Chain A
Amino acid sequence: MNGTLAGGIIRFAGRLLFEWVLWVPAWLLLTIGHAQEDRLLSLTAVPVCWAIGCALTLLRPPWQMMATILFMLAIAAGAAAIDVHELPLGIWLAVVAWRGKYVNITAGQYGIGFAAACASVFVATGYDAAEKYRLAFIVVSVVWLAAWVIAWNRALVSQAGLGSSIATRAVRRESRKYAFLFVAIGLVIFGLTISYALDWMKLPRVEIGGSQIDSIEPPQAQEPMEELPLKVDEDYRPNPLWDILFWIIAVLSMFLLWRFVVWLWRDRKWSWRAIKDALRSLFLRDRREERLPYVEERRSLAKEKKQSRWSGLFQRRPRGADWRQLNHAQKVRRLYADAVAAGLSSGHPHAASLTPAEYMESLERWRAEQAEPKSGSQAAYWSWFAGIRLALLRMYEQARYSPHDIEEQQVTGLIERHPDRDKLR
């Protein structure tokens, strides 16, 4: 029970932190020119607004929506009442409150984080006062994008497991490795190509008549324009209501913190155990052995790995003997081995307990049940195989089990219609 409660508290705290991190770029942009206390206050307001929005979802459906909308309107109107210039800040906090209904951190939340970071980059590009944040915003965007890919991978693997427990921890971990590999490859290619991309995506130089636009003289200096409202005002004094609100929230927070500490101390034995459980569940959760409803064994098939044309350069073991060096019986056995290998590569398992006749029959039956490849080397091979299956089997049994030799014309007849007959002669 304690572990569950501790886990819930950790999840809630993690969700608050996520919301905080998500809006850091927006916070930096919207509080440019504000006093330090105001910035701190607005940063504190983010988790508070989200938590209130989250608490409002506990109401019954008709009241839940109405209460949330009223709260959002109150935040926006309150900010506008303090100062009309603070309306964007109020709208932003209202959006944060509305997001309180998203309790779980899904892949889409990472997408929103990426979108928010991209929007911040876009704003910072055309806003002189935010130019110093631009590089940081770009880095944050890339991080959000990578996190989004990983979170998307987690959601997709859950979806692949049909929303049940068949997506075991081992499968998730293995799949995540490939997602990380994907991100790593993307970042490496991005790093290698970004300079070319910047050149390539630069706006083309415009030619007017015979002269380039660079040769046009710059326009004369104009009269200074009226300052934009976003410009930092040196004489600007924040509304004293902000200070009052700041102190109210600070005192309230301190009081709640004190109550929380008292509550923890009163049941200190329970608190200590809950903290230990929380830490244990945080750090040791991956070490716990997952209880699987089945028995699983793994076996490496590295010994069956086909030798590539280059592997001979690094290994002493020679490749299989050349076709021309084989005698007739060995050629027949090679053709049989090729058929088994082709079956394996197509997905038909080979059981060692089957006789050659049984295996060939099962292979033919299996091929008949599968959709035929329309074209390509596989279609040609299986078409050839269907024609010579019985002959190949008979000759293989003769080569393998009987003292009689295989005649040359028998092998020639066998490979007459082989798709690679030119190589086999």
Chain B
Amino acid sequence: MTVIVWIVFVLIVIFQLQRVVFRRLGLRAVAYDRTFSTDKLFAGETLWLSETIANRKRLPIPWLRVETLMPAQLVFKNEEAETSINRGDQLQNHASLFSIPAYTEIVRRHEVLCPARGCYAVSSYTMSIGDMIGTEVTSVTRTQTSEIVVYPKVTAFTDLPLSARKYVYSVRSMLSPIREDHYHVSGVRPYREGDSFRMINWNATAKTDELLVHKRESMCDNDLHLLVNAELLDHSNNRRVTKEQFELALSYAASAAHYLIAGGGKAGLIFNGTVSGYADPVYRMPAKAGAAHLDAILEAMARFEPVTRLGMNYLLERLIEERGRGLNYLFITGFIDEEQDQLVRRLRLNGNSVELLLLYKEAA
């Protein structure tokens, strides 16, 4: 029995020694980096999550596990059954297991589907390592914040309800009654097919040797204010719209903004719900042009939550009190009650145009 007692003793001593070594040196010079291929994308698109782990020392690591608590809305393609993903309502635990020799860097790329709009932050990860036998010796939690902004899905412009589509189209490409119908001349522009010969600026044409015409101001700007209602429930008439319909409303709004800005117009945004990271009860973004502004609108929409912070009646009253004139509103709402209808009429009487996009009606 002495022989067996001795070999067991020897193995226990070696086991304890190597545990001490791995506990002290195992995580030294181990770098872990997690990056997303893009930080902004549209709902329904995929991105690549890259995990880079480097062991810059002579001691190899028999196994190393990295666990990350991620939002449940990020769906790992092809991995639900293959890897350790414990999915909850809000969060999911994603784990990766590596075996890293000395002075080796491993890069793993996971394809991630982002089906739902939102802002998703991944803030920390936990690394655990094992010794030669495989027992876990130590673990450490490190902080590394990365954020993904998933824009709402932009539907095709032709998928918008007909009335809204015609309205946005008219705002963007208002013909003579609205565009360049002012008696003030703001400058010159190149001749376009269909321009009247009376519009030609002969002096400028003679000087530049190019056919130029007068550029006139517009009576009405081709900017559009997207007014999105966060209310999902109409208490007075007991009507309700679902969160999916709210998402559809945002898709419509995104599509209208995209169509307008892509055509050189301006778009603004007004929302009466909760916006994560924004304190005021009403979120307002002035009408501007340009791709950067479109990104800002989409990013703001990514943070929208269907939780009302100011009733739509109060918001409409506020808009009326501001006495804005000549503004175009696309009012996207689940339903409209009598009081809101009155307020919309007053808004129109102030010299604005308001087009309704009713989700409840669309869903019925």
Interface residues of A (CB under 8 A from B): 118, 121-122, 125, 138, 141-142, 145, 149, 152-157, 159-168, 170-171, 174-175, 178-179, 181-182, 185-187, 189-190, 193-194, 197-198, 201, 291-302, 304-305, 344-349, 351, 366, 369-370
Contacts and interface: CB of A to CB of B under 8 A. Distances in A.
Contact of B31 (A162, A170, A297, A347): A347
A298 B106 contact: yes
Contacts of A118: 1, 4
Contacts of A156: 130, 133-135
Given A156-B133, A179-B132, A193 B65 contact: no
Most A CB within 10 A of own CB, among B29, B60, B99, B106? B99
22 contacts: A121-B1, A145-B11, A160-B63, A160-B97, A160-B134, A162-B95, A164-B83, A168-B97, A182-B132, A189-B10, A190-B7, A190-B10, A194-B3, A198-B3, A291-B82, A293-B79, A294-B108, A294-B109, A297-B108, A299-B104, A347-B29, A347-B32
Please provide the 6 A-B residue pairs with the shortest distance between their CB atoms, ordered closest to farther: A156-B134, A174-B99, A164-B84, A369-B143, A293-B82, A293-B79
B345 interface: no
B14 interface: yes
Interface string B73-106: 0001011011110000000000111110101111
A345 B97 contact: no
B189 interface: no
A178 B131 CA distance: 8
Contacts of A179: 132-134
Nearest to A183: B11
Contacts of A197: 2, 6
Most B CB within 10 A of own CB, among A149, A163, A164, A292? A164
Nearest to B53: A349
Contact of B6 (A121, A190, A298, A345): A190
Q: How large is the interface on B (under 10, 10 to 19, 20 to 34, 35 or more residues)?
A: 35 or more
Contacts of B14: 182, 185-186, 189
A217 B144 CA distance: 79
Contacts, number: 186
B130 A165 contact: no
Contacts of B65: 160-162, 166
A345 B54 contact: no
A154 B133 CA distance: 9
A197 B130 CA distance: 31
A362 B95 CA distance: 25
- Chain A interface mostly helix, strand, loop or mixed? helix
B110 A299 contact: no
A156 B65 CA distance: 12
A190 B27 CA distance: 30
A293 B48 CA distance: 12
A300 B78 contact: no
A345 B56 contact: yes
Given A201-B6, A295-B109, A122 B1 contact: yes
B82 A345 contact: no
Interface of B: 1-8, 10-11, 14-15, 18, 27-33, 52, 54-57, 60, 62-63, 65, 76, 78-79, 81-84, 95-99, 101, 103-111, 128, 130, 132-136, 142-144
B121 to A, nearest CB: 14
Given A161-B65, A198-B2, 13 more contacts: A142-B7, A145-B8, A160-B63, A160-B97, A160-B134, A161-B97, A166-B97, A175-B130, A198-B6, A293-B110, A300-B104, A345-B28, A349-B33
Contacts of A155: 134
Nearest to B17: A185
A133 to B, nearest CB: 14
A302 B103 CA distance: 6
A366 B33 CA distance: 12
Contacts of A154: 134
Nearest to B12: A186
Nearest to A350: B31
Contacts of B81: 165
A182 B133 contact: yes
Given A179-B133, A201-B6, A293-B82, A305 B103 contact: yes
A174 B5 CA distance: 30
B239 to A, nearest CB: 45
A145 B83 contact: no
Given A179-B132, A297-B106, A347-B31, A369 B142 contact: yes
B142 A296 contact: no
A152 B132 CA distance: 11
Contacts of B103: 300-302, 304-305
Contact of A157 (B63, B78, B79): B63
Contact of A293 (B54, B83, B136): B83
A315 B27 CA distance: 29
Given A122-B1, A194-B6, A296 B108 contact: yes
B26 to A, nearest CB: 12
Contacts of A366: 143-144
B4 A121 contact: yes
A349 B31 contact: yes
